[in-house]
Amino acid sequence: MLGTYITFPELLIWLPFIAGILCFFLKREVPAKTVAIIASLLTLCVSIAGLFYTSHKFTTFNNVNYYWLTYIGNSFNIGLDGTGRVLTLLTALAFPLIFIATSKTSYKNAPVFYGLMLLT
């Protein structure tokens, strides 16, 4: 799925996904919380950086298209347009705020909570 260079939509998908899977394997709350906060802040930085690549010469950084199951004509396509950028930024801003606001709360199974939050 990763080509010769990594695009912004790929980073916005893979950063929380890998961190969420990692949280499932952590046994204690503090490392899972740290991984979740760092991953959400990195995702926020990628989302902010993606706002600066809006020119037509950067269209390859904002589109992902992979052919998948080609024998039935299926493909995977993601693109960030103006509205998509704003909604992505809003989501990327909300997750660090949620993790920081709930950092004092203790959960029964915190690594699963943080893992599931990152996978959403």
What pLDDT does residue 98 have?
94
> pTM score, two decimals?
0.83
In a domain, 56, yes or no: yes
In a domain, 3, yes or no: no
DSSP 8-72: HHHHHHHHHHHHHHHHHH--SHHHHHHHHHHHHHHHHHHHHHHHT--SGGGGGGTEEEEE-SGGG
In a domain, 58, yes or no: yes
In a domain, 72, yes or no: yes
The structure tokens listed for 84 are 């998509």
What pLDDT does residue 9 have?
84
In a domain, 2, yes or no: no
In a domain, 81, yes or no: yes
Domain containing 33 equals 8-119
Angstrom distance (rounded) from CA 29 to CA 32: 5
| Per-residue pLDDT tens over the stretch 36-53 | 999 999 999 999 988 877
The structure tokens listed for 69 are 């199951």
In a domain, 1, yes or no: no
In a domain, 29, yes or no: yes
Query: pLDDT truncated to tens, each residue of the chain (120 aa)?
Result: 555 667 788 888 999 999 999 999 999 999 999 999 999 999 999 999 888 776 666 555 677 778 888 889 888 888 777 788 889 999 999 999 999 999 888 889 999 999 999 998
Q: How many domains does the chain have?
A: 1
Q: CB atoms < 10 A from the CB of 38, how many? A: 14
